[in-house]
């Protein structure tokens, strides 16, 4: 093997990466929402619901949120195959991998150094996703692959085995830094602690005195209070404590010999002394976190007016489990495949700050009405009771701004007519890496990169005299980047000014006028099957489809859309279990 080669997953089109335009986000106050009164002292109002393609949305968030998100949970389309049935298998996986990889890379930038990302996935792509995650986040940052029991009964229509679980794959930004929270103890767990001997220290649970780990002082005989002699620990095991320590524990009333004093001794573990929570495990049963059907039922009750209910929403309990382990109240949580808004709802009820992104129209038909009920405190389903969610707070609704540039009728790039002066200034700040902060007093301060470095954006043509005046105002201690329509002066004439023309300054930096990086494939025409090809068991046209799509997502996107990025599998015939997230 060539020394330079590394272990990696390759796929068609892997080398192609979108050159994303850093869009600005525009709030629509009509669709933003907040409670009409404060419910607690820590109500959160700056949550964000973003309508649009998540790749552009993540890029739009990059400047403000890099390194700030504590927990990301995504439930992307699983690539169940139904959406790609006309295409060569390799292309199907390749497209999915490219789409996910591009998003994971941006998500990785947003993660805080002590943050983690959790992804729902099933067996269709799980193995590929793991290798991809190793590549993006680093294999050393793998934390766990949890199994969620998503259905409660077998699917009689299953061709082979009835699949009743999904995976939730977790990577930390850095496992050296990340720590997990313990899970809150449940009543059922506490019920295992009893007090048969009325110990004043309260309820306790018997713990094994023997273990498999070798212990040099761990083999001795024990005489029970009843007089029975236990020759030693069970075969292949050792007592956990020495005989001296056992005697000491017994003197302190910490050994249980059974009601008759005749049992193999057990160490009493007192409820008051166990750690404050439970170490999370990797198998999550539906009894603990809910199943698909319960999630659907919750939505049905919450949104009775919505006819077209989502096939497989995730239960709030599942998101709660993730947020319990990986975040604390006030932390930023992000879900860029929001669906019906389960992450937003669960995060809101749990007092986390949240950002969710959804491209489909259900952003308006499902997410907004759902979140309004959470905020009004009228959603008492899901995890409301368990976490004491009483409503309050609010969210801001954003759309992605249009592309900064558009082509005029001669095919030249010009500033979009939809941009007003404020939008232009904000967009140029983003392009140039400045924080947009227009000054009320100083007309040439639209943003800053440091305390001494500012940006001024205007479509005007600036004369030498105007520039001289600005240069004098800026002075020797500060510097100013001017992005303008044109200027009549030598570029280096003023040492404290840098001059750039719009749109030339940004042309070529990224791809403009592309609004959707999702994969919209639901209405692709079926592949015509020639008789010879059918006899051979493959189609020429499928090959053509392969060639047409190879390395060119644009070709795919020209085809009429209905479903964004993949396809939800139809509800199962027996209605008991839905696959896919």
Q: How far is the CB of 525 from ligand SAM (least distance, A)?
A: 22
In angstroms, the first-to-last Cα distance of the chain is: 40
Of 71 and 457, nearer to ligand SAM (C-beta) is 71
Among 340, 403, 471, 577, binds ligand SAM (CB under 6 A): 340
Q: How far is the CB of 274 from ligand SAM (least distance, A)?
A: 33
310 binds ligand SAM (CB under 6 A): yes
Cα atoms found within 13 Å of the Cα of residue 493, Cβ hemisphere only: 16
| Residue tagged 């983003």 (tokens) | 430
339 binds ligand SAM (CB under 6 A): yes
Tokens encoding 354: 């949240």
Please, which of residues 506-545 interact with ligand SAM by CB under 6 A? 518
Q: Within its chain, how far is the Cα of 234 from the centroid?
A: 47
How many whole angstroms separate alpha carbon 275 and alpha carbon 329? 20
Please, which of residues 231-260 interact with ligand SAM by CB under 6 A? none
Residue pair 432/499 in contact by the 8 Å Cβ criterion: no
Per-residue mark of binding to ligand SAM, 349-388 (x: CB under 6 A)? --------xxxx----------------------------
Q: How far is the CB of 102 from ligand SAM (least distance, A)?
A: 10
Query: Residue 503, preceding bond cis, omega within 30 degrees?
Result: yes
Per-residue mark of binding to ligand SAM, 57-76 (x: CB under 6 A)? ------------------x-
Considering only 107-115, 337-345, 426-434, 472-480, which stretch makes contact with ligand SAM by CB under 6 A? 337-345
Instruction: Using CB under 6 A, count the residues that bind ligand SAM.
Output: 19
Going by C-beta distance under 8 Å and a sequence separation of 6 or more, which residues neighbour residue 510?
A: 19, 20, 21, 22
- Gyration radius (Cα) of the chain, Å: 30
Residue pair 556/520 in contact by the 8 Å Cβ criterion: yes
Residue pair 565/359 in contact by the 8 Å Cβ criterion: yes
Q: How far is the CB of 466 from ligand SAM (least distance, A)?
A: 44
**Residue spans of beta strands (DSSP E) within 122-163:** 142-149
Element (H, E) at 70: strand 69-74
Considering only 158-166, 227-235, 332-340, 530-538, which stretch makes contact with ligand SAM by CB under 6 A? 332-340
The dihedral through the CA atoms of 44, 177, 122, 523 has a sign that is positive
Of 310 and 332, nearer to ligand SAM (C-beta) is 310
Going by C-beta distance under 8 Å and a sequence separation of 6 or more, which residues neighbour residue 364?
A: 31, 51
Please, which of residues 153-212 interact with ligand SAM by CB under 6 A? none
Q: How many helices (H) and strands (E) does the chain have?
A: 17, 29
Q: How far is the CB of 430 from ligand SAM (least distance, A)?
A: 20
Considering only 2-10, 184-192, 310-318, 435-443, which stretch makes contact with ligand SAM by CB under 6 A? 310-318
Tokens encoding 500: 């750039």
Q: How far is the CB of 506 from ligand SAM (least distance, A)?
A: 24
Among 313, 317, 351, 447, binds ligand SAM (CB under 6 A): 313
DSSP state letters, 262-288 = -SPPEEEEEGGGS-SEE---SEE-HHH
**DSSP code for 6:** -
Per-residue mark of binding to ligand SAM, 544-573 (x: CB under 6 A)? --------------------xx--------
Cα atoms found within 13 Å of the Cα of residue 466, Cβ hemisphere only: 15
Q: How far is the CB of 7 from ligand SAM (least distance, A)?
A: 29
Among 178, 204, 239, 337, binds ligand SAM (CB under 6 A): 337
Of 363 and 502, nearer to ligand SAM (C-beta) is 363
331 binds ligand SAM (CB under 6 A): no
218 binds ligand SAM (CB under 6 A): no
Question: Residues in the site for ligand SAM, rule: CB under 6 A?
Answer: 53-54, 75, 77, 310, 313-314, 337, 339-340, 342, 357-360, 518, 564-565, 581
């Amino acid at each position: 093997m060539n020394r330079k080669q590394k272990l990696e997953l390759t796929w068609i089109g892997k080398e192609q990466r979108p050159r994303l335009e850093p869009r600005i986000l525009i709030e629509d106050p009509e669709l933003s929402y907040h409670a009409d009164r404060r419910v607690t002292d820590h109500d959160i109002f700056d949550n964000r619901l973003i309508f649009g393609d998540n790749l552009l949305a993540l890029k739009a968030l990059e400047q403000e949120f890099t390194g700030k998100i504590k927990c990301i949970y995504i439930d992307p389309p699983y690539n169940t195959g139904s959406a790609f049935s006309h295409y060569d298998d390799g292309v199907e996986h390749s497209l999915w991998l490219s789409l996910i990889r591009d998003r994971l890379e941006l998500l990785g930038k947003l993660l805080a150094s002590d943050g983690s990302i959790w992804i729902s996935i099933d067996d269709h792509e799980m193995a590929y996703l793991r290798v991809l995650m190793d590549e993006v986040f680093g294999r050393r940052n793998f934390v766990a692959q949890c199994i969620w029991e998503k259905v409660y009964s077998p699917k009689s229509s299953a061709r082979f085995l009835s699949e009743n679980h999904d995976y939730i794959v977790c990577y930390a930004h850095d496992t050296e830094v990340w720590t997990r929270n313990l899970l809150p103890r449940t009543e059922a767990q506490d019920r295992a602690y009893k007090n048969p001997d009325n110990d004043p220290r309260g309820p306790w649970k018997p713990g094994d005195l023997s273990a498999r780990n070798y212990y040099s002082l761990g083999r001795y005989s024990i005489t029970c209070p009843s007089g029975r002699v236990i020759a030693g620990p069970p075969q292949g095991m050792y007592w956990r404590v020495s005989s001296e320590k056992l005697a000491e524990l017994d003197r302190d009333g910490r050994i249980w010999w059974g009601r008759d004093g005749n049992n193999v001794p057990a160490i009493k573990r007192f409820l008051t002394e166990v750690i404050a929570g439970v170490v999370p495990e990797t198998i999550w049963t539906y009894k603990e976190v809910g199943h698909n059907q319960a999630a659907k039922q919750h939505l049905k009750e919450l949104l009775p007016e919505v006819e077209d209910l989502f096939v497989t929403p995730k239960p709030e309990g599942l998101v709660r489990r993730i947020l319990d382990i990986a975040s604390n109240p006030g932390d930023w949580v992000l879900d860029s495949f929001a669906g019906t808004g389960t992450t937003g709802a669960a995060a809101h009820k749990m007092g986390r700050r949240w950002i969710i992104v959804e491209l489909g129209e259900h952003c308006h038909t499902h997410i907004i009405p759902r979140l309004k009920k959470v905020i009004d405190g009228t959603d008492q389903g899901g995890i409301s009771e368990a976490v004491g969610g009483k409503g309050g707070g609010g969210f801001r609704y954003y759309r992605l701004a249009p592309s900064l540039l558009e082509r005029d009728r001669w095919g030249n790039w010009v500033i979009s007519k939809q941009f007003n002066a404020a939008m232009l200034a904000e967009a140029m700040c983003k392009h140039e890496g400045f924080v947009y902060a227009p000054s009320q007093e100083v007309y040439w301060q639209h943003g800053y990169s440091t305390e001494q470095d500012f940006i001024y954006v205007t479509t005007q043509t600036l004369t030498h005299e105007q520039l001289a005046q600005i240069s004098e105002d800026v002075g020797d201690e500060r510097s100013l980047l001017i992005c303008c329509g044109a200027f009549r002066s030598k570029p280096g004439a003023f040492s404290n000014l840098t001059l750039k023309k719009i749109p030339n300054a940004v042309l070529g930096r990224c791809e403009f006028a592309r609004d959707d990086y999702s994969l919209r494939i639901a209405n692709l025409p079926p592949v015509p099957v020639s008789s010879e090809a059918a006899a051979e068991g493959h189609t020429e046209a499928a090959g053509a489809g392969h060639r047409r799509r190879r390395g060119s997502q644009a070709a795919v996107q020209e085809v009429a859309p209905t479903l964004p990025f993949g396809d939800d599998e139809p509800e199962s015939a027996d209605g008991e279990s839905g696959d896919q997230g």
